[in-house]
Amino acid sequence: MAEKKSILNALSGNTVSPPPIWMMRQAGRYLPEYKATRAEAGDFLSLCYNSDLATEVTLQPIRRYGFDAAILFADILLIPQALGQKLWFVTGEGPRLEPIELRKDYEALKNGGEVHDHLAPIYRTVGNLGSQLPEETTLIGFAGAPWTVATYMFAGRGTPDQGPAHAMKTKDIGLFRAVIDRVTWATIEYLNRQIDAGAEVVKIFDSWAGSLSGDDFEAYCIDPIKEIIKGVKAKHPDTPVIAFPRGAGERYRGFHAATGADCVALDDGVTPEWAAEHVQPGGCVQGNLKSSHMVTGGQPLIDETRRIVEAFSHGPHIFNLGHGITPDADPENVQLMIDTVRGG
């Protein structure tokens, strides 16, 4: 089966032409069919935990566009919720959690099988998808990286500079590291269960890696991701892992070797030419079209898509955006991007 799946071929280190393609947040608010299904679910978290509806929204972009991969519909903050932290979403504003501010807040977190009990609907969604996706479509599971997840756990919400997490690192390094370690453990468990249920690839999203500097980048981005990949590979040695340290800049160089990732996903803060020279020699790369092209479209979209395909054409590459597609994207521009990648 693997030879039929172009993404698995690229993740094995092979150059595939045209490159396989999928898109971060490809199941989401830019699609009218997604909006209808979310309305049926009632709210975002209900959609995540309704296995039938989560399966449906994961399949929608596959039916519409024929992407080479489907990515599980879920959210990175399901892990802190499974650990016992209260989570809710405010319409138009995003997630909210009861922040971890004191040692007692950490000590209330769970560390046993009840985490899996909470996440059981997610594993059912993965199982559903394994039986419903086209045979040529790869199923990707995912989780947030410990640093990124912890920034929400300490702040209780998204912040522009991840200030509360940085402050906790200074105020109580023991508590800070304990939270990172607990999320690392839970993430290994979570990803292994996704693979058990049928995920063929897993991806680790470190969306706020760019706010770490100096030794902190190695300690709280590289080291936890390395530990997660080690934990996944110990049980599933043949399952590829994609890592996305968004905002890493020059630190993308050497990230494959430092973490054990089979593929490094790139944001649009580095040029494809630079990444082809400095990152792609380490293994497969994914990326890195600006998400704004999905809004504006036109010849600039075509030109930049061709530039990226050409830059990465001499090594393993999965075409993707440099970040998730935005709600104001035009679905027709997505089709134009796909046609350009596949048609030249």
Residue positions annotated with a catalytic role: 25, 29, 38, 75, 152
CA proximity to 284, closest of 296, 276, 295, 292: 276
Residue with tokens 């709600």: 327
Gap between the Cα atoms of 96 and 81, Å rounded? 11
- CB neighbour burial string for 216-254, b if at least 16 within 10 angstroms, e if fewer: ebeebbbbbbbbbbebbeeebeebbbbbbbbbbeebbbe
CA 3 to chain centre: 24
Main-chain phi, psi angles of 111, to 5 degrees = -150, 30
Locate 342 and state its tokens.
């596949």
Q: Dihedral through CA 25, CA 30, CA 31, CA 32, nearest 10?
A: 150
Planar angle of CA 112, 58, 222, nearest 5 degrees: 50
- Name the pairing type of β-strands 138-144 and 201-206: parallel
CA proximity to 60, closest of 74, 70, 47, 48: 70
